[in-house]
Structure 1
Amino acid sequence: MIDVVTIETPSLGDRSYVVTDGTVAVAVDPQRDHDRVLDVLQARGLRLTHVLETHIHNDYVTGGYALAQATGAQYCVNGEDEVSYERTPVRDGDEWTTGALRVRALATPGHTFTHLSYAVDAPGDDDGPVVFTGGSLLHGSTGRPDLLGPDHTQALARHQHASARRLVDELPDATEIYPTHGFGSFCAATPTSGDASTIGSQRDSNPALQQDVEEWVEQTLASLTAYPAYYVHMAPANSAGPGAPDLSPAAPADPAELRRRIDAGEWVVDLRRRTEFAAGHLRGAFNFGNDGSFITYLGWLVPWGTALTLLADSPQDLEAAQRDLVRIGIERPAAAASGRVEDWAGDELLATYPRRTFADLAGLRSAGDDPHVLDVRRDDERRAGHVADSQHVPLHELLERVDEVPRGQAVWVHCAAGYRSSIAAAVLDRAGVDVVLVDDSFDNAGTAGLTIERTA
């Protein structure tokens, strides 16, 4: 009988898997911190025989190579991929057995040209196969086809449509689908739905299987949004064969060192929640709260190679952040500190800024005041509805466009729910803007009385 253990990485919207017959195991798309796979193997007394990569990933650094090195497992990567390490080359139709498991590789290009899915069954088992679809067929969507650049997007989109149909044509309806992406990952072409699904369920509901290729390609390409800037660094790292990460604690930093690093233009990143940061923080620090998509947005905004120093409430928060950093190839923080913000500041006065709601903003406007409003949501969100007479600078463009934001007046910054605007507020505060954080849901803007406009 096949047993699938799911290892979730919610901060990146991805899942890794261990599939086993109870004695041997195969790992699929393991994240950089592959100790989580080793923990599963040890707890269950399993022997790892193969590590399978569905594709050369664009959204994280793989742990597959290091895991195979640590366990002696075969490292299975598409034979067409140009990599700098020895691997077991896999191609469409390759099939092998390990223990009671039978593994078959299926070419499913679309997310990349060399993408593979893996169907796994146990001959004689009435439960039938399961399939690991990586960035191909997702729950209610597919992987996005534009990560290799605009010259390839049309071709990859058509491949993706055909690959989704291949999977439903060749696998039984009861086949359970285990995608790597699609649980909040920007690798999904459109939002996904649900935590579990089957081939049959997708046949009845997935747009790629309901629409003809022309309609699906047109709608999919029109719906694509911006994706994190750090993606460009992931595939080269994965093609080079990344080693095991160093997760030992970073060197501690005292107040003098923190001020020196900020003044030198380095990034000192405060991981506390936005309410705490707004109430008091080191002047010049950035805020990426560990209660949201910390690593996605930090990786998106930070100039690659910039020294990072982390600040957090506890050593456990620092440890979790450091684990997230290695997942996208940021190997070591330059320094770190935990505890109370007053201890980080020494004799320095803490900076603050106010938190307000859309109702507060509407009250000011109804009273005749007209504060400057900055919307840092994505373009697609902006088109669907925005506060009238507001400025729009998407968060991922703010560092380069911060000079477009006015000085000498209060700037009320908002997003959809408060997390991205808290990042933006810290950026603006660091740049000398008199910032007000709108810590509220955009759904409340219209009901508060603000005029909402839409762009066709």
Structure 2
Amino acid sequence: MSIDVHVIATSSLGDHSYLATDGQVAVVVDPQRDVDRVLALAGRVGARITHVVETHVHNDYVSGGLELARLTGAQYGFAAADRPPFPHLPLADGDVVEVSPELRLRVLATPGHTFHHLSYVLEGADGVRGVFTGGSLLFGTTGRTDLLGAEHADTLAREQHASVRKLSDLLPGGAAVWPTHGFGSFCSATQASGDDSTIERERRVNPALHLAEDEFVSRTLAGLDAYPAYYAHMGVINLHGPDPVDLRRPPGITPGELRARLEAGEWVVDLRHRTAYAEAHLTGTVSLGLDGPMATWLGWLIDRGAPLTLIGETPEQVADAQRELVRIGVDRVAAAATGTPRRLADDPAQVRELRTATFAGLAAALAGDVPAGLPAPDVILDVRLGNEWDAAHLDGAVHVPLPELAARAGEIPAGTVWVHCGSGYRATAAASLLARTGREVVLVNDAFDRAASAGLAMAA
């Protein structure tokens, strides 16, 4: 009987969940909160979920493990040392989870990403198939070690180094590596590389398996950048037990009510692509399109519990946004509306455009040849994160990372702001936030790697 491992990707958060099955029963590893996806997959492959296991208490999303166990009657494996208050199967180093005669998990303690982190070696009748590594061994990197507080980062980095070497020492080179994080997640210490991996590949490319402990620790800690503010809430929710998810559509809202919310300064998020937002949007709305990591940036920027209204072109956009948001514990959306900005406007004067340019246009403007219809730049604002700025930035630019924009808006010099990021997504969000404060803004909707070839002077 063969064992199949199915990936359930959540690309918006940079995470993978897994369903491993022998064709009859299945174990699920690190499920996201919207467990209907997992149940649908189990139905398609004809497997009954008998076990759910967590590699660690997640800091970047609300787990669906407890709810999935409730719905299926599965045993819920959790690190015994975490001592959660809900019913669970306590697991520790050396334990074996017998999913079926053909499928079992061998538990390995791999602290580093968290103190009580576990990895699960998947074994079949023919031996080791692979290992579910959670936030320990990632593709070409490791999980970050500062999420439990900067004061623990050094200790956990040393444990992470030892844990990765433990996995390498105990497992055969052909064993597949199945991490939860590292596909764009802020839980990764550095950017992960590749779409799949094995222990043998990691022995060749992973710094943790080449660097001595002290050098690994110093490099890991030096490379850590900011992570989303909502992470502070995820571990608490997961350790105490998340509530069941509710994906019912939010209450509808009239154009007059929508205008009142905007005039009150509430968060009204436009879910459309940034090009559509630039062409026409309601004054005061914030652009966070579903084509990018909307939930990550919204969860990072908004005050937790603040009233939130979603607007999109279709009901499906609103539903997709809700699904993204419940994954980070934003369970209540105050209202929602669908349609074009002109249909949602209570007054035609509410509809505005956001002027855009490219890096070539910015270079021309700085040379005195301002593109038609655009104001000359008084300020060039870079809203990328610190590591991106340190790697390379425009000479003369002002740096205020997007998560700090609200608190530091007063530091931005007066005049027209031309704002950019790495691709245009974050810059659009920043431009919309600045416009809410009355600033005159031009969005540089372009890829940063084209800035130098456009003739802009670079600094590093």
> TM-score interval w.r.t. the shorter chain?
over 0.9
Residue matched to 1:19: 20
Residue matched to 1:250: 250
* Matching of residue 392 in structure 1 with residue 399 in structure 2: yes
Measure, in 2, the Cα distance between the counterparts of 1:381 and 1:137: 24
Q: Which residue identity lines up with residue 93 of structure 2 in the other structure?
A: D
Does the residue aligned with 1:374 lie in a helix, a strand or coil? Answer: strand
Give the drift of 1:405.
2.3
Residue matched to 2:423: 417
Residues 223-253 of structure 1: per-residue CA shift (max 9 Å, x gap): 1111111100100000111132111111111
Residue matched to 1:365: 366
Measure, in 2, the Cα distance between the counterparts of 1:159 and 1:133: 14
Residue matched to 1:338: 338
Residue matched to 2:390: 383
Map residues 38-187 of structure 1 onto 2, 5 A cutoff.
38-99=39-100, 100-123=102-125, 125=126, 128-187=128-187
* Matching of residue 445 in structure 1 with residue 451 in structure 2: yes
Does the residue aligned with 1:121 lie in a helix, a strand or coil? Answer: strand
Measure, in 1, the Cα distance between the counterparts of 2:87 and 2:387: 43
Does the residue aligned with 2:282 lie in a helix, a strand or coil? Answer: coil
Measure, in 2, the Cα distance between the counterparts of 1:441 and 1:199: 35
Measure, in 1, the Cα distance between the counterparts of 2:452 and 2:220: 29
Q: For the Cα contact (< 8 Å) 2:377–2:418, is it kept in 1? A: no
Give the drift of 1:442.
1.4
Q: Which residue identity lines up with residue 443 of structure 1 in the other structure?
A: D
Q: For the Cα contact (< 8 Å) 1:174–1:200, is it kept in 2? A: yes
Does the residue aligned with 2:322 lie in a helix, a strand or coil? Answer: helix
Measure, in 2, the Cα distance between the counterparts of 1:332 and 1:15: 25
Does the residue aligned with 2:162 lie in a helix, a strand or coil? Answer: helix
Give the drift of 1:84.
2.4
Q: For the Cα contact (< 8 Å) 1:406–1:433, is it kept in 2? A: no
Q: For the Cα contact (< 8 Å) 1:288–1:423, is it kept in 2? A: yes
Give the drift of 1:399.
0.9
Give the drift of 1:388.
1.7
Residue matched to 2:271: 271
Residues 88-122 of structure 1: per-residue CA shift (max 9 Å, x gap): 11111111312221211100000000000001111
Residues 1-36 of structure 1: per-residue CA shift (max 9 Å, x gap): 211011000000000000011111000000000111
Q: Which residue identity lines up with residue 355 of structure 1 in the other structure?
A: T
Residue matched to 1:238: 238
Q: For the Cα contact (< 8 Å) 2:259–2:346, is it kept in 1? A: no
Q: For the Cα contact (< 8 Å) 1:63–1:243, is it kept in 2? A: no
Give the drift of 1:348.
3.7
Give the drift of 1:82.
3.5
Measure, in 2, the Cα distance between the counterparts of 1:385 and 1:140: 23
Residue matched to 2:189: 189
Q: Which residue identity lines up with residue 419 of structure 1 in the other structure?
A: Y
Residues 387-410 of structure 1: per-residue CA shift (max 9 Å, x gap): 222211011100111122244x21
Does the residue aligned with 1:69 lie in a helix, a strand or coil? Answer: helix
Q: For the Cα contact (< 8 Å) 2:8–2:18, is it kept in 1? A: yes
Q: For the Cα contact (< 8 Å) 1:2–1:121, is it kept in 2? A: no
Measure, in 2, the Cα distance between the counterparts of 1:382 and 1:176: 35
Give the drift of 1:332.
2.4
Give the drift of 1:370.
5.4
Measure, in 2, the Cα distance between the counterparts of 1:388 and 1:200: 43
Q: For the Cα contact (< 8 Å) 1:30–1:64, is it kept in 2? A: yes
TM-score, length basis structure 2: 0.96
Deviates more, 1:277-286 or 1:28-37: 277-286
TM-score, length basis structure 1: 0.97
Give the drift of 1:207.
0.6
Deviates more, 1:43-52 or 1:225-234: 43-52
Give the drift of 1:347.
2.1
Q: Which residue identity lines up with residue 375 of structure 1 in the other structure?
A: D
Does the residue aligned with 2:337 lie in a helix, a strand or coil? Answer: strand
When the two chains are superposed, the root-mean-square deviation of aligned CA atoms in Å is: 1.2
Measure, in 2, the Cα distance between the counterparts of 1:244 and 1:28: 18
Instruction: Mark the runs of 5 or more structure 1 residues left unpaired by the alignment.
Output: none
Q: For the Cα contact (< 8 Å) 2:121–2:132, is it kept in 1? A: yes
Q: For the Cα contact (< 8 Å) 1:54–1:133, is it kept in 2? A: yes
Does the residue aligned with 1:447 lie in a helix, a strand or coil? Answer: coil
Measure, in 1, the Cα distance between the counterparts of 2:444 and 2:115: 43
Map residues 189-338 of structure 1 onto 2, 5 A cutoff.
189-338=189-338
Deviates more, 1:51-60 or 1:37-46: 37-46
Give the drift of 1:340.
1.3
Residue matched to 1:429: 435
Measure, in 1, the Cα distance between the counterparts of 2:390 and 2:131: 37
Q: Which residue identity lines up with residue 117 of structure 1 in the other structure?
A: S
Does the residue aligned with 2:441 lie in a helix, a strand or coil? Answer: strand
Q: For the Cα contact (< 8 Å) 1:102–1:122, is it kept in 2? A: yes
Give the aligned length. Answer: 451
Q: For the Cα contact (< 8 Å) 1:307–1:334, is it kept in 2? A: yes
Residues 193-244 of structure 1: per-residue CA shift (max 9 Å, x gap): 1111111111111110011111111111111111111100100000111132
Percent identity over the alignment? 52
Measure, in 2, the Cα distance between the counterparts of 1:156 and 1:3: 33
Instruction: Mark the runs of 5 or more structure 2 residues left unpaired by the alignment.
Output: 370-375
Q: For the Cα contact (< 8 Å) 1:33–1:244, is it kept in 2? A: no
Q: Which residue identity lines up with residue 112 of structure 1 in the other structure?
A: T
Measure, in 2, the Cα distance between the counterparts of 1:36 and 1:353: 37
